[in-house]
């Protein structure tokens, strides 16, 4: 049993309408609401959505969802987690419909981040109606802040089977950890929380089709005075050319191209 790739992010934001407007006008994505109106879906590629947004008092990460392949694989994960003494819950039919998946289970990592193991993610065969000149290939990774990056490394590699790609040491107290589940350099990254701050979602990376997509995004957001956080630039470890923009949801979105691939067997 292996985790195949990162698939969805569920977040809560205080002002969902403001986030919807930003996602549509600045990020460039179509946004739809669930039939009941409680969830906003941000579509960026061939899947029905990559980011699901609900309304909460404070910005929160509700879950990060991963594809495990199918029902047999999900059953295997249930057995593995039970044997390891790790608690999880089953997704309800209503939650599966909300997340647009066939089935999932959900557990917590040591920092309380919700992790969903799922299968049957719904695909939309219609073209993505971007609101600006853009093409996104996939959801690339998330960076989570955690209390102890070594503890996170041990949990994700020991329990969930992720593999280490890099440690980046900023100084004696700040060590960033990069983990992969396929040939992409990383699907998860961890950074230590800022002093006095709680673990949170720091950013979501969307992998775009071309370098032009990164540069067009930068110039578009700069022209419209969006809060660009970093970039354009290139990360030395994963070789990604990037630009980051802060969203009203309390996390940033990275548009990236040229992400390094590694041998998935090691």
For residue 143, the cross-strand partners are 189, 203
- CA-closest candidate to residue 28, choices 111, 96, 129: 129
DSSP classification of residue 177: E
Residues 56-111 pLDDT 10s: 999 999 999 999 999 999 999 999 999 999 999 999 999 999 999 999 999 999 99
Q: How confident is the model at residue 263 (pLDDT cuts 50, 70, 90)?
A: confident
User: Rounded CA gap, 146 and 265, in Å?
Assistant: 27
The pLDDT confidence band at residue 172, using thresholds 50, 70 and 90, is confident
Tokens of 84: 């390891």
Number of H helices, E strands in the chain: 5, 16
If phi over 0 gives left and psi between -120 and 50 gives alpha, with beta otherwise, what is residue 208? beta
Of 257, 238, 242, nearest to 184 by C-alpha is 238
| % of residues, the chain, pLDDT over 90 | 94
56, 13 contact by CB (below 8 A) = yes
d(C-alpha 162, C-alpha 178), whole Å: 10
pLDDT for the residue 169: 83
Q: Is the pLDDT of residue 238 over 60?
A: yes
What pLDDT does 265 receive? 57
CB 9 within 8 A of CB 52: yes
DSSP secondary structure code for residue 150 in this structure: H
**Cβ-count burial 160-194 (b if 16+ within 10 Å, e if not):** bebbebbeeeeeeeebbbbbbbeebbbbbbbbbbe
| Residues 112/64, Cβ–Cβ less than 8 Å | no
DSSP designation for 124: -
Q: What are phi and psi of 46, to 5 degrees?
A: -75, -15
The mean pLDDT of 153-182, rounded to a whole number, is 92
Radius of gyration of the chain (CA): 18
The β-bridge relationship of strands 201-208 and 136-146 is antiparallel
């Amino acid at each position: 049993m292996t985790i195949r790739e990162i698939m969805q992010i569920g977040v809560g934001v205080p002002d969902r309408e403001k986030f919807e407007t930003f996602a549509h006008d600045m990020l460039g994505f179509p946004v739809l609401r669930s039939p009941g109106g409680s969830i906003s879906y941000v579509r960026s590629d061939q899947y029905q959505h990559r980011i699901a947004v609900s309304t909460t008092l404070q910005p929160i990460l509700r879950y990060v969802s991963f594809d495990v392949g199918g029902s047999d694989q999900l059953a295997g994960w249930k057995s593995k987690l039970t044997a390891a003494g790790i608690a999880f819950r089953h997704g309800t039919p209503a939650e599966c419909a909300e997340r647009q998946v066939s089935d999932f289970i959900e557990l917590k990592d040591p920092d309380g981040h919700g992790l969903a193991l799922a299968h049957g993610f719904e695909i939309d065969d219609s073209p993505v109606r971007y609101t600006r000149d853009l093409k996104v290939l996939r959801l690339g990774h998330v960076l989570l802040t955690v209390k102890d990056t070594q503890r996170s490394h041990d949990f994700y590699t020991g329990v969930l089977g992720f593999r280490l790609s890099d440690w980046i040491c900023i100084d004696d107290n700040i060590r960033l950890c990069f983990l992969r589940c396929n040939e992409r350099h990383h699907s998860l990254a961890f950074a230590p929380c800022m002093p006095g701050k709680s673990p949170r979602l720091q950013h979501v990376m969307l992998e775009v089709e071309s370098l032009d997509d990164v540069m067009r995004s930068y110039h578009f957001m700069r022209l419209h005075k969006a809060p660009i956080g970093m970039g354009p630039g290139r990360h030395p470890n994963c070789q990604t050319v990037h630009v980051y923009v802060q969203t009203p949801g309390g996390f940033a979105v990275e548009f990236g191209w040229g992400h390094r691939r590694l041998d998935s067997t090691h």
